[in-house]
Amino acid sequence: MTSYRGDEDGGDASRTRILDAIRALPAGSVAGYGHIARRAGLPGRARLVAWVLRHNADPALPWHRVLRSDGRIAFAPDTAGFREQVRRLRAEGVVVTRGRVRMPAAETPLDLALWGPPDAAS
């Protein structure tokens, strides 16, 4: 497998953190490339997530749960990769409509959760 060497920590640690973040996505859940990068402690490295996925050799990795930030599948619609991702997502109960999935609401940053205005429900 090709190793990424463009990262400040040598690449392998970043790759491992990205793969761990992808493996942590539960069945039936989806996340964007940027979300995975943030969960891996690599904010702003969405393209690195895409690179790691492109060079993945682990057939058990739930790569199909990672999408573009707007919920679109990154593969072109007429490709085998697109069809496989749709098949896997639907098998987990994810609704895919015209190559798009409804993405979860954005995470609340910790500072906002702790110090932001109170919720209307409080």
pLDDT tens digit string along 48-83? 999 999 999 999 999 999 999 999 999 999 999 999
The answer to whether residues 37 and 51 touch, using CB atoms and an 8 Å cutoff, is: no
The position carrying tokens 């999408």 is: 67
Residue 66 φ/ψ, nearest 5 degrees:
-105, 125
The answer to whether residues 69 and 34 touch, using CB atoms and an 8 Å cutoff, is: yes
Domain count for the chain, please give it.
1
Is 5 among the domain residues? no
Is 1 among the domain residues? no
Q: How far apart are CA 15 and CA 116, in angstroms?
A: 33
Q: Name the pTM for this structure.
A: 0.79
Structural domain that includes position 106: 12-115
Is 18 among the domain residues? yes
Is 81 among the domain residues? yes
Residue 100 belongs to a domain with what CATH number? 1.10.10.10
Is 79 among the domain residues? yes
The answer to whether residues 47 and 78 touch, using CB atoms and an 8 Å cutoff, is: no
